[in-house]
Homo-oligomer: A and B are copies of this chain.
Amino acid sequence: MTPGPREQLLDKAITHFAREGVRDTSLRGLAPHLGTSQRMLSYHFGSREGLLTAVIDKVVADTTSALRTLFDEHADPFEAGRENWRRAADGARLFGALFFELSSHAMYGKDYARDLGQTVVTRTEEAFAEAYRSRTDEATARVLARLTLAVGNGLLFSTLIDADRAASDAAVEEFITLVRARVESSARQ
């Protein structure tokens, strides 16, 4: 199944948005970089907002499927967390700024960005909570899940600003150590 022209354009558009931002990229300015015309972007996506919606839908779909395989492959929530961080940080240089830019659109209440918010917070948090449940009680699992997601997003944020990946890696390890001790102590009770 070879992707149609629409899917090819969408992939290229995401790459370009990741580099240049959504903020000051117009359909006119975007088209030449994708080897197409403004008319074709309008034709395939209906409108500028239609293109943004398609971009977010694809990002959401990719994130969701990646998350599913992640927790299928790692029964240990700490291993899953470490692996999730590694993937996010590796991709950050490419897609990190776009991630936070589109998320800010969700915060402003833009319709086309609502699914993104649901995916990057609610669903991811739920996946972490599910993994923690095997190690601790329900209430602790929920609060640790929220904290874990926050650590991931917060370190992604810091890394994108100051480019200090090593410091963020160290912080992840520190956090894993902290939580592991916490879960072991609650299991001993």
Q: Give the contacting residue for A174; candidates B22, B144, B170, B174; CB below 8 A.
A: B144
Contact B161 A106 (CB under 8 A): yes
Contact B100 A103 (CB under 8 A): yes
Interface residues of A in 137-166 (CB under 8 A from B): 142-144, 146-147, 149-155, 157-158, 160-162
Q: Within the assembled complex, what's the spacing in Å between the Cα atoms of A146 and B171? A: 7
- A179 CB-CB contact with B under 8 Å: yes
Interface string of A107-149 (1 = CB under 8 A from B): 1100000000100111001000000000000000011101101
Cβ of A4 to closest chain B Cβ, rounded Å: 30
Q: Give the contacting residue for A143; candidates B21, B105, B144, B167; CB below 8 A.
A: B167
Chain B residue at minimal CB-CB distance from A125: B158
Q: Give the contacting residue for A108; candidates B97, B125, B179; CB below 8 A.
A: B97
Interface string of A13-24 (1 = CB under 8 A from B): 000000011110
Interface size range of chain A in the complex:
35 or more
Interface centre among A20, A120, A121, A144 (most CB of B within 10 A): A121
Q: Give the contacting residue for A101; candidates B104, B121, B158, B174; CB below 8 A.
A: B104
Q: Give the number of times this chain occurs in the complex, counting copies.
A: 2
Interface centre among A150, A174, A181 (most CB of B within 10 A): A150
Cβ of A101 to closest chain B Cβ, rounded Å: 4
Contact A104 B108 (CB under 8 A): no
Q: Within the assembled complex, what's the spacing in Å between the Cα atoms of A21 and B149? A: 25
- A187 CB-CB contact with B under 8 Å: no
Q: Within the assembled complex, what's the spacing in Å between the Cα atoms of A144 and B167? A: 10
A interface residues with partner B (beta carbon < 8 Å): 20-23, 96-97, 100-101, 103-108, 117, 120-122, 125, 142-144, 146-147, 149-155, 157-158, 160-162, 167-168, 170-171, 174-175, 178-179, 181-182
Nearest 5 CB-CB pairs, A to B?
Answer: A150-B154, A154-B154, A97-B107, A101-B104, A117-B161
